[in-house]
């Protein structure tokens, strides 16, 4: 006797469509996002991005991972813990359509790691630009079955849980300026919640002024140091691209008022050889001092756009802006 058994077809898994057409699959099938997909694999974020979501991912292009070292692939594979801290900062747990994003600077969004990211949609008579933490975002994204993928030019560093004072004190290249902050009594200013933009001179900038040790800074009185420190700080959260978009489109200049009450001139630097999102290679900041001199420092896009703190933005400069 032949016994016939009924065959039942199981329903496909809920996330099966996302395995084929979800965000992880989009990254895997896009050559310019191969390092990002490798980072997802190494940090075990592929399963999350095959779930229904929805998610919006700001995926760094392959070139962005060069900041990890010459051998980007090897650096990703050998630094899973570090990369694991970075990847969730690129994932927004929801739909964020840039086409629908209203115009405004530093709009706050909470990312997958529960840290804040700052998304700007800026326009002037020359162009429009979208950035996240000051990093340009390609406005046309990839649609996935469980969300959207936008490409960025750089990695987003989840340092925003640190204050400006902590970013400066933790970086050995700002030791002299950190001592000046402490000895002037203004360190607490950079610990507070009000947003500020700091143009911090690197140690070499002080050495160029004939100051070779921190003891020389400590020998200066707090009253002497306060105007020096305040001449490097402005109100608000300004990344490099913010200044590029805020500058007058004709003069290519923006005037910033520093906390010492004096004005600094932000001049856009024309792009002659390096391809940037806006056609500019960076900015210069210039500020006259009491002796009639002009102190100027350049900040270039290819090396720096501004470091994110929870209370502002840190820029490193090569000149002391004397009051």
Tell me the mean pLDDT in the region 230-238: 96
Work out the number of other CB atoms within 10 angstroms of the CB of residue 271: 14
pTM as predicted: 0.87
Write the pLDDT tens digit of every residue in 49-61. 998 889 999 999 9
Q: What is the pLDDT of residue 300?
A: 84
Q: Using 50, 70 and 90 to split pLDDT, how confident is the model at 7?
A: very low
The better pLDDT of the pair 64, 237 is held by 237
Residues 6+ apart with CB under 8 A from 319: 201, 205, 208, 295, 296, 297
Residue 10 has pLDDT above 50, yes or no: no
Write the pLDDT tens digit of every residue in 179-199. 999 999 999 999 987 899 999
Alpha helices in the chain (DSSP H): 16-21, 23-28, 34-42, 72-78, 80-86, 164-169, 175-184, 203-208, 214-218, 222-230, 240-246
Work out the number of other CB atoms within 10 angstroms of the CB of residue 268: 22
Single out the residue of 132, 88, 245, 246 nearest to residue 141, CA to CA.
132
Tell me the mean pLDDT in the region 144-167: 88
In angstroms, the CA 174 to CA 87 distance is 28
Q: Which residue has the tokens 């405004």?
A: 104
Lowest average pLDDT, out of 58-62, 121-125, 268-272, goes to: 268-272
């Amino acid at each position: 006797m032949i016994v016939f058994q009924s065959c039942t077809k199981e329903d496909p898994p809920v996330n099966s469509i996302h395995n084929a057409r979800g965000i992880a699959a989009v990254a895997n099938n896009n050559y310019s996002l191969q390092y990002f997909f490798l980072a997802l694999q190494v940090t075990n974020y592929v399963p999350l991005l095959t779930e229904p979501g929805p998610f919006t991912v700001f995926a760094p292009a392959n070139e962005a991972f060069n900041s990890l070292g010459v051998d980007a692939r090897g650096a990703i594979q050998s630094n899973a813990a570090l990369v694991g801290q970075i990847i969730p900062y690129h994932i927004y747990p929801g739909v964020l359509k840039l086409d629908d994003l209203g115009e405004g600077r530093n709009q706050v969004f909470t990312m997958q790691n529960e840290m804040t990211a700052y998304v700007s949609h800026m326009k002037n008579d020359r162009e429009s630009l979208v950035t996240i933490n000051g990093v340009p975002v390609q406005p046309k994204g990839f649609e996935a079955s469980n969300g959207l993928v936008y490409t960025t030019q750089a990695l987003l560093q989840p340092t925003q849980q640190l204050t400006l004072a902590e970013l400066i004190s933790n970086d050995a290249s700002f030791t002299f300026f950190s001592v000046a902050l402490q000895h002037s009594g203004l360190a607490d200013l950079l610990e507070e919640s009000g947003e500020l933009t700091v143009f911090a001179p690197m140690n070499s900038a002080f050495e160029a002024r004939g100051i070779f040790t921190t003891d020389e800074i400590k020998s200066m009185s707090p009253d002497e140091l306060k105007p020096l420190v305040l001449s490097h700080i402005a109100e608000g959260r300004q990344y490099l691209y913010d200044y590029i978009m805020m500058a007058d489109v004709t003069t290519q200049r923006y005037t910033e008022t520093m906390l010492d009450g004096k004005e600094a001139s932000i001049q856009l630097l024309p792009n002659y050889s390096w391809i940037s999102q806006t056609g500019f290679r960076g900015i210069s900041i210039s500020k006259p001092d009491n002796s009639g001199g002009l102190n100027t420092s350049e900040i270039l896009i290819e090396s720096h756009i501004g470091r994110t703190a929870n209370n502002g933005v840190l820029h490193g400069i090569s000149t002391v802006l004397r009051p």
